[in-house]
Structure 1
Amino acid sequence: MSSKSLTFALFGNLYQQEKSAAIHQVLACLKVHGARVVIDEEYYHFINEMCDVRSILSSSKCRFTTFSGNDFEADFAISMGGDGTFLKTACKVGAKHIPILGVNMGRLGFLADIAPADIEACLQALHDDDYAVESRAVIQVQADGQPLTDCSCALNDVAILKRDTASMISIRASINGEYLTTYQADGLVVSTPTGSTAYSLSNGGPVVVPGTGVLVMTAVAPHSLNIRPIVIPDTSEITLDVVSRSHSFLVGIDGRSEKCGEGTRITLRRAPYNIQVVKRSGTRYFATLREKLMWGADVR
């Protein structure tokens, strides 16, 4: 065990009771390392129904507390779940510049790429400073010049979407004040490189390597076949004006949807901070990409 004392903020998926063994393993590893653990209150109540957190972490060298919202400080944040849980963790971390370690409780993820079986080795690597941190751009969302929600930043993407089964919407898009086009579509996805392999990709957008300084605009089911994704510098300011027959539309920020009234101007720009993602030394993006997208696999 390292003599170095670190504080970890713990977040997790609230719908995976079958993963209690993995949660127990992570808590036990944190105890071995004498870590100070601060647990998201909602997640604490969830996992405490499956295992006695206090007894697992009980040690003279290991202390834990709970917190609500984003009222915490830590050396690292641990996200227990999949990429969706990682995005929620990133929302809570916000501008704190706390590196996030994603422990995947299911299949391999782009963000949550640490298997529970590897957590002990990963924690030791953190104590030994044997890890890498990737800085990921974030999109900031404003509605009529004001933050749309308490967490108005997206690590993956921002989606402007029609509501329910309403007819397609019209989205007038401008870049740095210059008119681009009016999308007649079910919606528009504006993604970071991190989010290029998510909703944007499913609508025909390109894969963009993280760290590339761009944003991708991809239409969702466009009415015109000549509408194509466009890649723009992430220094750009995007303004969107929406017209809808239902007189309202949805703004999805990393999957969290908010209803907006027709006439609300949405402004997107790169946030003044980045999200820090912990990667194991030797992790290779293209290897993950090949595995996740099954490139080269014979699916016949």
Structure 2
Amino acid sequence: MKIAIYGQNIGKKNIDYLNKFIGYACDHSIEIYIEKSFSNILSSFKEFENLDFPVISHYKELTKDFSLMFTFGGDGTILSAITLIRDTGIPIVGVNTGNLGFLATFNKDVFIQKIDQIFNRKLYLMPRSLLWLKTSILYDHKFFNFALNEIVILRKETVSMITIDVYIDNEFLTSYWADGLIISTPTGSTGYSLSCGGPIISPENNNFVLTPISPHNLFSRPLIISDHQTVHLKVHSRVKYYSLSMDTRLISLNKDNELSIQKAPFYIYLLQEEKNTYYKTLREKLLWGMDQRN
């Protein structure tokens, strides 16, 4: 078996868990590859100063013969990791050493207890849909055109609102006068969209959510559409550029750049403890039911 390990940072208090995990993998003759930047971070700790595993520095090195990718961090770490995984179908095991952890659902203590089940793939594999972006003007080739959580259009270098014309399958929907617009997957519905008043959608649904950001219209509300539809956007602004974010990645685009957004032709797969863990996660992370009356 061949596995990959990815992280963006790790605190000293979590080193022991990672050390136990690597020890287990070595004892079971599992091949370990570590993302290059994370390998450099680990080598700064005395426990890993003699770290001697092959590294991955480019997405092309993460081939389909890898069985699993383990991410150590929070949800942002997983969002960054998918730029390596792309369409390989390699499942992600998200070990939560961060804060919230909607995607990184394995608590580090539970992770160690479940390690045999994880490697034997006896847990539930949850597919997550992504957004796929096409633009009318070529953008930086280094900017990956897919997102697991959301695509966000935001005003840039101005305090004035922007106007976003929205078309659904070539039919005009409306023009949002707002600070921006969020197009979210069900996975991303508990992120930025939620903080702007958007609904929570369980990940097995085939939907997108359009959530305006601070709209200058009392009747502008989030809209749920089928993910079989294509969203086309035209942006009007008093300045030349607007901001576009895709998960954790941010660029500036010329306002003449129109956007077309649809469902990506592949999924990201997350290994989870059980099929219905999403609702348990909602209760725990959003503190649902945390009332003295309950």
Q: TM-score under structure 2 normalisation?
A: 0.92
**One-letter amino acid matched to 2:257:** T
**One-letter amino acid matched to 1:91:** T
2:57 pairs, out of 48, 51, 68, with 68
What are the residue-to-residue correspondences of 1:29-44 with 2, within 5 Å? Answer: 29-44=24-39
Aligned to 1:180, the other structure's residue is in SS state strand
Pairwise CA distance, 1:299: 8.2
2:266 is matched with 273
What are the residue-to-residue correspondences of 1:1-300 with 2, within 5 Å? Answer: 6-14=1-9, 16-53=11-48, 55=50, 64-70=53-59, 71-73=61-63, 74-144=66-136, 146=138, 149-281=142-274, 284-298=277-291
How many angstroms apart in 2 are the aligned matches of 1:88 and 1:139? Answer: 15
The answer to whether the 8 Å contact 2:87/2:266 transfers is yes
How many angstroms apart in 1 are the aligned matches of 2:58 and 2:157? Answer: 30
Instruction: Select between 80-89 and 27-36 the one with higher mean Cα deviation.
Output: 27-36
Pairwise CA distance, 1:129: 3.0
How many angstroms apart in 2 are the aligned matches of 1:207 and 1:256? Answer: 23
Pairwise CA distance, 1:209: 0.5
The count of aligned residue pairs is: 289
Aligned to 2:113, the other structure's residue is in SS state helix
* Aligned residues: CA RMSD: 2.0
- Structure 2 unaligned spans of 5+: none
How many angstroms apart in 2 are the aligned matches of 1:36 and 1:184? Answer: 53
Evaluate the alpha carbon distance shift between residue 285 and residue 268 of structure 1 in structure 2; reply closer, same or farther with a 3 A threshold: same
Q: 1:14-46 deviations in whole A, cap 9, x for unaligned?
A: 264553333323322322332111111011001
How many angstroms apart in 2 are the aligned matches of 1:293 and 1:111? Answer: 14
How many angstroms apart in 2 are the aligned matches of 1:121 and 1:89? Answer: 24
Q: 1:63-96 deviations in whole A, cap 9, x for unaligned?
A: x310112122311011110000011112210100
Q: Percent identity?
A: 30
Evaluate the alpha carbon distance shift between residue 147 and residue 97 of structure 1 in structure 2; reply closer, same or farther with a 3 A threshold: farther
**One-letter amino acid matched to 2:245:** G
How many angstroms apart in 2 are the aligned matches of 1:242 and 1:140? Answer: 18
How many angstroms apart in 2 are the aligned matches of 1:228 and 1:174? Answer: 16
The answer to whether the 8 Å contact 1:25/1:116 transfers is no
**One-letter amino acid matched to 1:86:** I
Q: 1:172-210 deviations in whole A, cap 9, x for unaligned?
A: 110110111111101100000000000000000000010
- Would you identify which runs of 4 or more consecutive aligned residues in structure 1 move more than 4 Å? 54-57, 145-149
Aligned to 2:54, the other structure's residue is in SS state strand
The answer to whether the 8 Å contact 1:145/1:267 transfers is no
